[in-house]
């Protein structure tokens, strides 16, 4: 699917027919978490399809084109990808990247200087909030790890884990959420017995495990599963260094089950951003996703749909695909006052905007009211192994 999209985009560019509304979509199609990213990309494409199937953009029905690039969850790759999307492909706005380091790097180096609006679908590092660029050009549809780290600390204490060792990958996302977790956990009376960084992509972490394993039977592991997390966890299990494991969404993957075995993960719990499945917007999203074969509840999948749908709504509200002033329209279409719009309701939203009315989009990922920093509040779930597979439960 990825190859077909890239070929199609290149062909359209060559013929000059990609002259409708173009949104850049740098996604980590390769790198440490490709299995997580694939359904997220499918959700982005689904949003564009829903829009094009319901009349497209503006009064003349221009097509909405997703111009995809591979940011590989790597800052340098993201800078290159977004530079090309903006300067060569001429996109109006950016939806992505997925990882925090690349999202920050491209924003600081490329999209902010170019005056291009960015909505990340899953970059959750608190550092994104602290950029303080003052331009109102960086938004995200998932909650900051300033909240998830606290939720994980509360979960650990609720499970009577009163002491724990911490290992975190030396990257923007994992280092940031680890720091939030440690501060919150200690503030709740928990004891951090060791707190060590590990470098990604090592062949073995036996020395790191040996150091950490002498301090506690519990390990908080903050890592991407594909760039060291699985290896570190395997080494910990091989040496019986730890009994219990907790962590965040970088480790939440079916590949972890395939590599480690579900029977060895019965004492593992991982948190992730989640949707409240009891809400009408989620029901609307799930119906669309189920029909298209997109996994509605997978991590950051509804967030990805919401980001693309809202970016298109902002452009529609602006009345043109000009880059300037787009963030003002993004804030307007995603908050009260206005008629409620749910996932898939493009025709309804388009008619309201054309008549001069206001809309308030609420998505499958939850309420998308942005604060002054472009952040949203969010829900989190905890996932454990049940009958050989991950089973998620919303954290109340």
Residue 190 shares a structural domain with residue 316:
no
Instruction: For residue 389, give both structure tokens.
Output: 């597979």
pLDDT for position 209: 97
95-123 mean pLDDT: 96
CATH of the domain at 74: 3.40.50.2300
Pair (34, 129) in one structural domain: yes
pLDDT, mean of residues 199-223: 96
Work out the angle at residue 99's Cα, subtended by the Cα atoms of residues 93 and 104, and round it to the nearest 5 degrees: 60
Helices (H), 293-361: 301-318, 326-333, 346-354
> Is the domain of 6 the same as that of 137?
yes
pLDDT, residue 210, reads 95
Confidence check: pLDDT of 4 > 50: no
Residue 251 lies in a domain: yes
Q: Write the CA distances from 62 to 42, 55, 183, 290, 367, integer angstroms.
A: 21, 8, 50, 27, 28
Please indicate, yes or no, if residue 28 is contained in any of the structural domains: yes
111 and 134, same domain (yes or no): yes
Nearest CA to 268 among 292, 248, 234, 244? Answer: 244
Measure the CA–CA gap between 265 and 218, rounded to whole angstroms.
13
Write down the mean pLDDT value for the chain.
93
121, 12: one domain? yes
Q: What DSSP element (H or E) covers 165?
A: strand 163-169
Please state the pTM of the whole predicted model: 0.87
- For residue 369, give every residue at least 6 positions away whose Cβ sits within 8 Å of its Cβ, in sequence order, or none: 334, 335, 336, 376, 377
Is position 296 within any domain? yes
Instruction: State the pLDDT at residue 214.
Output: 87
pLDDT value for 131: 73
CA distance to 81, 152, 155, 269, per residue, from 158 (Å): 43, 10, 5, 12
Are residues 50 and 81 located together in one domain of the fold? yes
Residue 63 has what DSSP assignment?
P
Strand 218-222 relative to strand 163-169: parallel, antiparallel, unpaired? parallel
Assigned token pair, 125? 């590092």
In sequence order, the β-bridge partners of residue 67 are 24
**Number of compact structural domains in the chain:** 2
Give the pLDDT mean for 22-37: 96
Look at residue 337 and tell me if it is in a domain: yes
- Say if residue 53 is in the same domain as residue 197: no
Q: Residue 61 is part of which domain span?
A: 2-142+278-367
Q: Which of 266, 287, 313 is the last residue of a domain?
A: 266
Per-residue pLDDT for 120 more than 60?
yes
Q: What is the pLDDT of residue 191?
A: 98
What is the mean predicted confidence (pLDDT) over 340-344?
98
Asked whether residue 238 is domain-assigned, the answer is yes
pLDDT at 133: 65
Q: Kindly state whether residue 386 falls inside one of the protein's structural domains.
A: no
Per-residue pLDDT, 130: 75
| Residue 117 and residue 186 in one domain | no
Q: Assess whether pLDDT exceeds 90 at residue 368.
A: yes
Name residues whose C-beta falls within 8 Å of residue 168's C-beta, 6 or more positions apart in sequence.
Answer: 174, 175, 177, 178, 195, 196, 197, 198, 221, 222, 223
* pLDDT for position 396: 66
User: Could you tell me if 286 and 183 lie in one domain?
Assistant: no
DSSP H or E run through 172:
helix 172-187
- Does residue 46 share a domain with residue 68? yes
User: Residue 288 falls within a domain, yes or no?
Assistant: yes
Q: What pLDDT, on the 0 to 100 scale, is given for residue 322?
A: 97
308 half-sphere exposure, CB direction, 13 A CA radius: 33
In a domain, 302, yes or no: yes
Band of the pLDDT at 134, cuts 50, 70, 90? Answer: confident
* 169-195 pLDDT per residue, tens: 999 999 999 999 999 999 999 999 999
Helix ranges (DSSP H) in 319-374: 326-333, 346-354
């Amino acid at each position: 699917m990825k190859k077909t999209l890239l070929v199609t985009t290149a062909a359209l560019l060559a013929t000059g027919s990609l002259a409708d509304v173009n949104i850049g979509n740098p996604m980590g199609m390769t790198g440490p978490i490709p299995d997580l990213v694939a359904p997220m990309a499918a959700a982005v494409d689904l949003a564009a399809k829903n829009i094009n199937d319901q009349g497209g953009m503006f009064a003349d029905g221009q097509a909405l084109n997703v111009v995809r690039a591979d940011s590989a969850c790597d800052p340098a790759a993201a800078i290159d990808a977004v530079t090309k999307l903006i300067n060569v492909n001429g996109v109006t706005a950016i939806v992505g990247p997925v990882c925090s380091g690349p999202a920050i790097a491209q924003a600081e180096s490329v999209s902010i200087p170019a005056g291009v609006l960015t909505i990340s679908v899953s970059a959750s590092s608190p550092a994104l909030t602290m950029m303080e660029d003052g331009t109102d050009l960086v938004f995200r549809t998932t909650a900051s790890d300033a909240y998830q780290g606290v939720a994980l600390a509360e979960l650990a204490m609720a499970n009577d884990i009163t002491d724990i060792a911490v290992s975190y990958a030396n990257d923007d996302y994992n280092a940031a959420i680890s720091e939030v977790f440690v501060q919150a956990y200690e503030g709740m009376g928990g004891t951090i017995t060791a707190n060590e960084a590990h470098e990604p992509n090592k062949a073995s972490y036996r020395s790191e495990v040996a150091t950490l394993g002498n301090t506690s039977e519990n390990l908080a592991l903050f890592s991407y599963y594909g760039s060291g997390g699985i290896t570190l966890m395997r080494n910990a299990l091989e040496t019986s260094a730890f009994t219990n494991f907790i962590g965040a969404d970088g480790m939440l993957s079916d590949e972890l089950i395939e590599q480690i075995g579900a029977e060895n993960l019965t004492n593992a719990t991982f948190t992730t951003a989640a949707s409240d499945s009891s809400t009408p917007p989620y029901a609307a999203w799930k119906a669309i996703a189920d029909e298209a074969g997109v996994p509605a509840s997978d991590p950051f999948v509804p967030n990805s749909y919401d980001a693309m749908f809202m970016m298109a709504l902002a452009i529609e509200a602006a009345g043109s695909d000009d880059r300037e002033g787009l963030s003002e329209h993004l804030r307007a279409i995603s908050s009260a006052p206005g008629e409620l719009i749910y996932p898939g309701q493009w025709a309804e939203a388009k008619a309201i905007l054309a008549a001069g009315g206001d809309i308030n989009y609420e998505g499958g990922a939850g309420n998308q009211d942005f604060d002054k920093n472009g952040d949203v509040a969010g829900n989190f779930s905890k996932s454990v192994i049940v009958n050989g597979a991950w089973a998620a439960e919303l954290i109340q």
